[in-house]
A = this chain, B = another copy of it.
Amino acid sequence: MHKKVTLKTIARDLNLSPGTVSRVLNGKAKEFRISDETVAKVFRFAKQMNYSPNLIAKGLQASKTFTIGLMIPDISNPFFALMAKYIQRAALKANYSILLVDAEENIEREKKQLKNMVSRKVDGIIAAPVGTVFDHFQDIIAEGIPLVFIDRYFKNADVPYISSNNYNGAYEATKLLIENGHKRIALIKGDEVIEPVKERREGFLNALAEFGVSQAKCWVVGNEFTIENGYLHTIELLESDEKPTAIFAMSNLIGLGVLKAVKEIKLKIPDDISLIIFDDQPYVSYIDPPITTVKQNSEKIGELAIEFIIKKIDNGSTKLASQLIATNIMVRSSVKNIN
């Protein structure tokens, strides 16, 4: 096993002081007018010894770790995975690393790992919170750690967020359905504890109202962002006498559940039932029929979140406003025109 090389060992070997070596290696040679000879010597030796600065020690003394905590409810959900990718990319560009936690939709886990992040002295936290309670996030604020929510958020918490414009997205999707002649529409949604779920439901309901579609003949069902939830409610819906002509699935997983159910009862999209899914995923364009979706701009959300958090890290007094990012309807072939 190889012996460790630190500033001190380098200094000793070169008959210099740790301070000097530190200054050189941190590009402060000019500033301190250190002789070219010394500079060259240090660089050469450090390279030769394959010196690797100890960021832990640096972090301890600077009270800054260049680490951002990323708290995600489910990294295997492609929506979050994609967001993680962009957040990661933006973070690295700014020389920050990402400490990843998958809360697995479990609030206890979220709490515990949030504490861990505090102990690890992350410089900031980006989180898509799991539940309805956010006391544990208040603690983060109290600790003075910059925090921003992505995707999910709490309206009544004083924490800024970057999310899709969920209301508009749902509104537009519903409008599209209505324009295609649909008057019997079912919304399969997630848990309303989640703010974006409320927003999407509002967008849906308001579109119905605005275009004079009877809410009495529409459905608002479901309570989870899962395949199971989409599946069960679709079965129920499609087996009822007065069934809908279109389904609006509020997430990619719910959408998968709808697909599963429709296939199982041998119906055809869009002939028997039209479908639109909130959240676009690669596969939806390659299946038969390609699904019309509401695409969220994960890249922008990720970039803004990092930008935001870094600004806050660099200047704690910064007061940045939450942002709602526009969505895009990706029109494909899962909505039938029944006008």
- Please report A residues at the B interface, Cβ cutoff 8 Å: 1-2, 50, 52-57, 59-60, 65, 67, 70, 74-76, 78, 81-82, 84-85, 88-89, 92, 97-102, 104, 109, 113, 115-116, 118-121, 139, 142-144, 227, 256, 259-260, 263, 281-283, 285-288, 290, 316
Residues in B whose Cβ lies below 8 Å from that of A50: 139, 142
List 30 interface pairs A-B (beta carbons < 8 Å), by A numbering: A2-B143, A50-B139, A52-B119, A53-B119, A55-B116, A55-B120, A56-B65, A57-B60, A60-B60, A70-B100, A75-B81, A76-B81, A78-B78, A85-B104, A88-B102, A89-B102, A92-B101, A92-B109, A92-B113, A99-B99, A100-B100, A256-B282, A256-B286, A259-B283, A259-B287, A260-B286, A263-B287, A263-B288, A281-B283, A287-B287
- In-complex Cβ contact of A52 among B1, B84, B115 (8 A): B115
A54 to B52, CA, bound (A): 23
Query: How many angstroms from the CA of A186 to the CA of B99 in the assembled complex?
Result: 42
Query: Of all chain B residues, which has the CB nearest A70?
Result: B100
How often does this chain occur in the complex, in copies?
Answer: 2
Nearest neighbor of A104 in chain B, beta-carbon distance: B89
A80 to chain B, nearest CB (A): 8
Output the nearest chain B residue to A112 by Cβ-Cβ distance. B92
Residues of B within 8 A of A98 (CB): 99-101
A119 CB, min distance to chain B CBs, angstroms: 5
Q: Is the CB of B102 within 8 A of A85?
A: yes
Which 5 residue pairs across A and B have the least CB separation, nearest first?
A: A81-B81, A100-B100, A259-B286, A287-B287, A260-B286
| Closest chain B residue, CB of each to CB of A290 | B263
- Bound together, the chains give a CA A61 to CA B120 distance in angstroms of 14
Nearest-CB distance from A84 to chain B (Å)? 6
Whether A75 contacts B65 in the complex (CB less than 8 A), given A54-B119, A119-B53, comes out as no
Q: Which residues of B contact A290 (CB under 8 A)?
A: 263
A99 to B78, CA, bound (A): 19
Compute how far the CA of A98 lies from the CA of B60 in the bound complex, rounded to whole angstroms. 20
Docked Cα-Cα span, A75 to B286, in Å, equals: 21
Q: Which residues of B contact A1 (CB under 8 A)?
A: 144, 316
The residue from B54, B84, B85, B263 contacting A286, defined by CB atoms under 8 A apart: B263
Residues of B within 8 Å of A316, CB to CB, are: 1
Contacts A139-B50, A287-B283 given; does A100 touch B84 at CB 8 Å = yes
Check A88 against B101 for contact (C-beta < 8 Å): yes
**Chain B hits for A74, CB < 8 A:** 85
B288 touches A260 (CB 8 A): no
